[in-house]
Amino acid sequence: MDECIFCRIARGEARASVVARSSRAMAFMDIAPVAAGHVLIIPTAHVADIYELSDEDAAAVMQMAVRVARALWAAFAPAGLNLISSNGRAAGQDVFHFHLHLVPRVPGDGIRFRWPHSDRPDRDELDALAREIRSHLEIAS
């Protein structure tokens, strides 16, 4: 059995708040506290880290990240945006399926999206945020 959680999300076998999807790439918001407030962009095929990413998957993932960044800007006009990729356990990686983190920021170095009642993200709120971002995507997916 494949235990990679991001492969399970890409196959629709694990729950995520989906922002965008194409044949090669997918963007979603996850309930994991480590990624609370982030949009994650992944290749739909399993790729462990950046060293194994094909040119085609790299292009698809980066294009999706840029489109979601534009949609985030249109929806929320954050003061800043971080685009992050960690590779390897020593770099703080804990899921070994290549992914980008897109993190909207506000002044004071806060993350744009917060969950008011818990340090665990609330699925309904994530679904609403994902819907709002999706409504601003230039190309529906």
Chain positions contacting Zn ion, by CB under 5 A: 4, 6-7, 46, 97
Could you tell me the smallest distance in angstroms from the CB atom of residue 4 to Zn ion? Answer: 3
Catalytic residue among 38, 46, 97, 99: 99
97 annotated active-site: no
DSSP H helical ranges for the chain: 5-10, 55-76, 123-134
Could you tell me the smallest distance in angstroms from the CB atom of residue 46 to Zn ion? Answer: 4
Distance CA 128, CA 125 (A): 5
Could you tell me the smallest distance in angstroms from the CB atom of residue 98 to Zn ion? Answer: 8
Could you tell me the smallest distance in angstroms from the CB atom of residue 6 to Zn ion? Answer: 5
Closer residue to Zn ion, CB minimum distance, 85 or 106 = 85
On whether the CB atoms of residues 103 and 81 are closer than 8 A, the answer is: yes
Closer residue to Zn ion, CB minimum distance, 5 or 106 = 5
Closest residue to Zn ion, based on beta-carbon distance: 4
Distance CA 96, CA 127 (A): 25
- With 0-12 / 13-18 / 19 or more C-beta atoms within 10 angstroms meaning exposed / middle / buried, residue 124 is exposed
On whether the CB atoms of residues 113 and 19 are closer than 8 A, the answer is: no
At CA 65, angle to CA 38 and CA 53, rounded to 5? 105
Catalytic residues: 99
